[in-house]
Amino acid sequence: MNHLIPLPASLLPTQLEFQLGPDTQILVAPATPETLRVSEFLAAALRHATGYALSIVPDPPAHARDQIFLTLHDDSTLGAEGYELNLTPDGVFLRAQTPAGLFYGIQTLLQLGAPSPAQKPQTWRAATGSIRDVPRFAWRGAMLDVARHFFSVQDVKRYIDWLAAYKLNRLHLHLSDDQGWRIEIKTWDKLATIGGSSGVGGKKSGYYTQAEYRELVAYAAERFIVIVPEIDMPGHTNAALAAYPELNCDGVAREPYTGIEVGFSSLCLDKEITYQFLEDVIRELAALTPGEFIHIGGDEAHATDKTAYTQFIARVETIVEKYGKRMVGWEEIGQAKISARAVAQLWRGEYGAQAIQQGAQVILSPGKHAYLDMQYNEQSPLGLHWAGYVEAQDAYAWDPATLSAGVGESNILGVEAALWSETLLTFDDITFMAFPRLTAIAEIAWSPQAARNWESYRQRVAAHGARWQALGLHFYRSPQIDWE
Active site residues: 300
State in angstroms the smallest separation of the CB of 348 from ligand ACM. 8
State in angstroms the smallest separation of the CB of 371 from ligand ACM. 7
State in angstroms the smallest separation of the CB of 21 from ligand ACM. 51
State in angstroms the smallest separation of the CB of 365 from ligand ACM. 8
In the complex with ligand ACM, the residue whose CB is nearer, 69 or 347, is: 347
In the complex with ligand ACM, the residue whose CB is nearer, 113 or 329, is: 329
State in angstroms the smallest separation of the CB of 339 from ligand ACM. 21
Residue nearest to ligand ACM (CB): 299
How many residues touch ligand ACM (CB under 6 A)? Answer: 4
In the complex with ligand ACM, the residue whose CB is nearer, 188 or 371, is: 371
Cα–Cα dist 227/217, whole Å: 6
In the complex with ligand ACM, the residue whose CB is nearer, 6 or 400, is: 400
In the complex with ligand ACM, the residue whose CB is nearer, 315 or 348, is: 348
Task: Decide: is 347 part of the binding site for ligand ACM (CB under 6 A).
Answer: yes
In the complex with ligand ACM, the residue whose CB is nearer, 105 or 235, is: 235
State in angstroms the smallest separation of the CB of 297 from ligand ACM. 8
In the shown chain, the binding pattern of residues 295 to 314 toward ligand ACM, with x for contact by CB under 6 A and - for none, equals: ----xx--------------
Site for ligand ACM in 262-301 (CB under 6 A): 299-300
In the complex with ligand ACM, the residue whose CB is nearer, 347 or 468, is: 347
In the complex with ligand ACM, the residue whose CB is nearer, 279 or 300, is: 300
State in angstroms the smallest separation of the CB of 184 from ligand ACM. 24
31-64 as b/e: b if 16+ CB within 10 A: beebbbebbebbbebbeebbebebebbeeeeeee
| C-beta contacts of 404-409 below 8 A and 24+ residues apart | 404/346, 404/349, 404/352, 404/353, 405/353, 406/352, 406/353, 406/356, 407/346, 407/349, 407/352, 407/353, 407/356, 407/362, 407/364
Q: SS3 letters for the chain?
A: CCCCCCCCCEEEEEEEEEEECCCCCEEEECCCHHHHHHHHHHHHHHHHHHCCCCCEEECCCCCCCCEEEEEECCCHHHCCCCEEEEEECCEEEEEECCHHHHHHHHHHHHHHCCCCHHHCCCCEEEEEEEEEECCCCCEEEEEEECCCCCCCHHHHHHHHHHHHHCCCCEEEEECEECCEECECCHHHCHHHHCHHHCCHHHCCCCCECHHHHHHHHHHHHHCCCEEEEEEEECCCCHHHHHHCHHHCCCCCCCCCCCCCCCCCCCCCCCCHHHHHHHHHHHHHHHHHCCCCEEEEECCCCCCCCHHHHHHHHHHHHHHHHHCCCEEEEEHHHHHCCCCCCCEEEECCCCCHHHHHHCCCEEEECCHHHHECCECCCCCCCCCECCCCCCCHHHHHCCCHHHCCCCCCHHHEEEEEEEECCCCCCCHHHHHHHHCCCHHHHHHHHHCCHHHCCHHHHHHHHHHHHHHHHHCCCCCCCCCCCCCC
State in angstroms the smallest separation of the CB of 301 from ligand ACM. 10
In the shown chain, the binding pattern of residues 319 to 338 toward ligand ACM, with x for contact by CB under 6 A and - for none, equals: -----------x--------
Interface residues with ligand ACM (CB under 6 A)? 299-300, 330, 347
